[in-house]
Amino acid sequence: MPPLRTALLQSSGRPGSVDANLKVLDEAAGRAAAAGAGLVVCPEMFLTGYAIGADVHRLAEPADGEAADAVADIAVRHGLAVHYGYPERDGQDGDVVYNSAQLIGPDGTRLANYRKTHLFGGFEQEWFTPGQDTVVQAELGGLTIGLMICYDVEFPENVRAHAIAGTDLLLVPTAQMHPFQFVAESVVPVRAFENQMYVAYVNRTGPEGDFEFVGLSCLAGPDGASRARAGRGEELVFGDADPEFLRASRENNPYLRDRRPGLYTSLA
């Protein structure tokens, strides 16, 4: 199987304007497709902006809403999959909003939708309801894709659950802010190494409300090395998730084989 070229869209877009952010995504998807990418990954809450406060309820949409249709159209026109963050309004209870991320395939099919399980800080805990499903996966380009959001990746149990479930490429849209840049620089590559997978960690950038996002998006490989690494500004960077390299790495790295789950029951 050929590598899956993955484009990381490091951008805060235009907070508060879904239409403007769809235009940013459309332009980036065009550049990504021209560079041979089969997948473009956007940051956390990309469609609306992150620091939008009470506007979360005004801008939230169902997973199959108008914004999802617009993203599906972008995916089809450019012939690549799109993974994006957005506030999801629950179809059963309109007052419930999740911090979500959705993967749409190159044919416009909604492949997977994930609701952030670990909410960070008072801002998120005020406006969002935590999701309950830790492992959400889909198949794309011969790889098992896993979905997660920002703070979730900082809990080792979360990523290990994906490793046990067979995730090959973990997509982590994020709104990672100063002074926690060590997560992007150090924690994410270690997660990829200790769990023998690729991790695409895609951040917002610059000031937004009370936050200062630090960029530093990366695609980390199972050897702990970054296949792509962005700087601090708006940027589109590319890296390959190579199934053959992953297979060889898993054969040589004993972490998952040497686990002794019977010793860890107290962790639950």
Chain length of the chain: 268
Q: Are 88 and 60 in contact (CB under 8 A)?
A: yes
- Active-site residue (options: 44, 61, 124, 154): 44
Of 161, 183, 179, residue with least CA distance to 170: 161
Q: How far apart are CA 49 and CA 57, in angstroms?
A: 13
Q: How far apart are CA 67 and CA 74, in angstroms?
A: 11
- Active-site residue (options: 42, 88, 116, 154): 116
- Active-site residue (options: 42, 61, 88, 150): 150
Of 160, 153, 13, residue with least CA distance to 85: 13
Of 230, 213, 200, residue with least CA distance to 51: 213
CA dihedral sign, ordered 145, 148, 153, 158: negative
Q: Quick check: is 44 catalytic?
A: yes
Q: How far apart are CA 205 and CA 218, in angstroms?
A: 13
Positions marked active-site: 44, 116, 150
